[in-house]
Amino acid sequence: MNIHELIRDLREPAKTKIVLLVADGLGGLSRQPGGLTELETAKTPNLDACAKDGVTGLSIPVLPGITPGSGPGHLGLFGYDPLEYRIGRGILEALGINFAVGARDVAIRGNFCTLGADGKITDRRAGRPTNEKNKAAVEKLRTIKIPGVELFVEPVKEHRFVLVIRGDGLGDRVNDTDPQAVGVPPLKAEGADAASQRTADVVNAFIAEATKVLASEGAINGATLRGFATYPKIATFADVYGLKAAAIAVYPMYKGLARLVGMDILDPGQTLQGQVETLTKVWNDYDFFFLHYKYTDSTGEDGNFPAKVDMIEKLDEIVPDILKLKPDVFIVTGDHSTPSKMKSHSWHPVPTLLLADMCRADEVTEFSERACLRGGLGQFQAMHLMLLAMAHAGRLGKYGA
């Protein structure tokens, strides 16, 4: 019996409500030995109060020492084993913009980048262009034609776009062309099998043409591709947990993750306050609410320690508005750590707090990496968090006689 079969056997109906607030890339590192992390530096009186009244710990997104992408990180939080469900980022980006991915499609997440005269990457995100510049560059990419396949190029946000290749006999076992570094050229796509090599050949031709059509776009003069994926088979959130779930997210990829597991996707606009207002409006319509906050991650990736501190403090400010709704279970965590010191995702466990009437309080009185290390939840795999949420919400019965 796997974990989802166990949940289906034990789940019980209830009128309780669960809020999962995910601060993307929440965990951090100190800038010098013995110093404070971004979370420890931030003034977070509301999260500290939740930690004092609730129970805390550190979640491990995949396995100790494994650095997760956002896809595995969130699937773990939703209670899906990220080692069993390996979902390519391209599918998530496509679903996030509500692109109908079919059985003959390979979806790929694209990044606009800046290339120097020598063909080497000088900026992996092309200066984070405006959405308007993104759309203009996508229009250029839409002029590219490759014999034997259909190409669909869609704008996402800032430097991100989606490429969907539609055709027969395509595989998704293709390496990323993004080298995740500057000062080096984009990588050549290569397939791990015959079907995937067919995809790789299309990709290499597409990238070559992209460099030509983007030549006059200034900083947006190149593109890299990552997260090649066909549509996976995955059980829905309602099927596993018996919960009616809503996703309240701003960035398309996280909408895609939620849509993948069958959550309803709500449109909160572009602000954190809009997300909370949306939560309030639909409070009586759902059992489970996934709120996603991106900016703790993007500031970490930019290596901007003070900005990440500021984003954490802004998140703390809206906590009382959520608590006014009286959720039966309120969870705050991240999908992974993004220390500004590293300018990237990392393997470090993520601070987690759970507040509920039935929780066993620990001695932690603040929400931080050091404090959560002493918390009553200990260090646990993120995919077990939904078990704790369901139990504290009175939605799991007894196992065995």
pLDDT of residue 92: 83
Length of the chain in terms of residues written: 401
The DSSP result for 111-161, as a single string, is EEEEE-TTS-EEETTTT---HHHHHHHHHHHTT---TTSEEEEEEEETTEE
Contact 234, 261 (CB under 8 A): yes
Distance, in Å, from the CA atom of 369 to the CA atom of 371, rounded to the nearest integer, reads 6
116: which residues sit within 8 A by CB, 6+ positions away? 122
User: For residue range 126-144, what is the model confidence (pLDDT) as tens digits?
Assistant: 999 999 999 999 999 999 9
- Per-residue CA distances from 1 to 6, 107, 170, 186, 387 (Å): 7, 32, 34, 44, 15
- Average pLDDT (157-172) is 94
pLDDT of residue 249: 94
More reliable by pLDDT, 401 or 246: 246
User: For residue range 46-81, what is the model confidence (pLDDT) as tens digits?
Assistant: 999 999 999 999 999 999 999 999 889 999 999 999
Which domains, from first to last, does the chain contain?
13-87+234-392 (3.40.720.10), 92-229 (3.30.70)
Distance, in Å, from the CA atom of 237 to the CA atom of 9, rounded to the nearest integer, reads 15
Distance, in Å, from the CA atom of 63 to the CA atom of 48, rounded to the nearest integer, reads 27
pLDDT at 378 over 80: yes
Contact 350, 58 (CB under 8 A): yes
The kind and range of the H/E element at 110 are strand 105-115
Q: Which residues of 297-309 are buried (b: 16+ CB within 10 A; e: fewer)?
A: bbbbbeebbebbb
The DSSP result for 32-98, as a single string, is STT---HHHHS--HHHHHHHHHSEEEEEESSSTTPPP-HHHHHHHHTT--TTT----HHHHHHHHTT
- Average pLDDT (344-355) is 97
| Alpha-carbon torsion angle 384, 253, 226, 146, nearest 10 | 140
Query: In degrees, to the nearest 5, what angle opens at C-alpha 230 toward C-alphas 162 and 244?
Result: 85
Provide the angle, in degrees to the nearest 10, between the axes of the packed helices 385-392 and 70-77: 30
Query: What is the DSSP secondary structure assignment for residue 401, as one 8-state letter?
Result: -
Q: Which two tokens stand for residue 229?
A: 């994926």
Distance of CA 111 to the CA centre of its chain: 16
Distance, in Å, from the CA atom of 61 to the CA atom of 70, rounded to the nearest integer, reads 10
- Band (pLDDT 50/70/90 cuts) for residue 252 is confident
Candidates 144, 151, 146; CA nearest to 105 is 151
- Per-residue CA distances from 59 to 2, 32, 110, 258, 384 (Å): 20, 24, 30, 20, 9
Distance, in Å, from the CA atom of 27 to the CA atom of 357, rounded to the nearest integer, reads 26
**Three-state secondary structure string covering 264-285:** EEECCCCCHHHHHHHHHHCHHH
pLDDT at 87 over 90: no
- Per-residue CA distances from 130 to 126, 156, 339 (Å): 10, 11, 25
Candidates 71, 70, 94, 95; CA nearest to 162 is 94
- Band (pLDDT 50/70/90 cuts) for residue 101 is confident
120: which residues sit within 8 A by CB, 6+ positions away? 182, 183, 184, 185
The model carries a pTM of: 0.81
Percent of the chain with pLDDT over 70: 100
Contact 288, 237 (CB under 8 A): yes
Residue 393 one-letter amino acid: A
Distance, in Å, from the CA atom of 274 to the CA atom of 363, rounded to the nearest integer, reads 34
- Band (pLDDT 50/70/90 cuts) for residue 2 is confident
